[in-house]
């Protein structure tokens, strides 16, 4: 299960390196992970989402934009980094005695 999860994470975090044949591999590995989890541990919403929703979402994003769903995580980081930069600039201004 750990090896399947490693492979799934690797496929899901790709952006430009994602190819059409990776969709089939992703779906197969997600289904195997779900089946293994249902046999050896309990199935919770996270396991079900990874087994059934993640491959469909990846296929949808790839068909629309021709990229992997790793693009979702990049968008969040960009906004976070911009906000952190703004906070650091404001704190420097306060330290120097100016209002931001």
pTM summary value: 0.68
DSSP the chain: -HHHHHHHHHHHT-STT--HHHHHHHHHHHHHHHHHHHHHS---HHHHIIIIIHHHHHHHHHHHHSS-THHHHHHHHHHHHHHHHHHHHHHHHHHTT---
Going from N- to C-terminal start, the domains of the chain cover 2-70
**Reported confidence tier of residue 93, pLDDT bands at 50, 70, 90:** low
Mean pLDDT of 13-38: 92
Question: For 49-68, how does the pLDDT look when each residue is reduced to its tens digit (9 = 90+)?
Answer: 999 999 999 999 888 888 88
């Amino acid at each position: 299960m750990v090896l399947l999860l490693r492979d799934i994470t690797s496929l899901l975090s790709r952006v430009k390196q994602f190819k059409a044949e990776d969709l089939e591999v992703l779906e197969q590995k997600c289904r195997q992970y779900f089946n293994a989890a249902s046999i050896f541990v309990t199935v919770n919403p996270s396991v079900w989402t990874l087994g059934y929703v993640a491959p469909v979402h990846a296929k949808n994003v790839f068909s629309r934009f021709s990229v992997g769903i790793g693009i979702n995580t990049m968008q969040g980081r960009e906004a976070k980094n911009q906000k952190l930069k703004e906070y650091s600039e404001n704190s420097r201004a306060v330290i120097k005695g100016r209002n931001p």
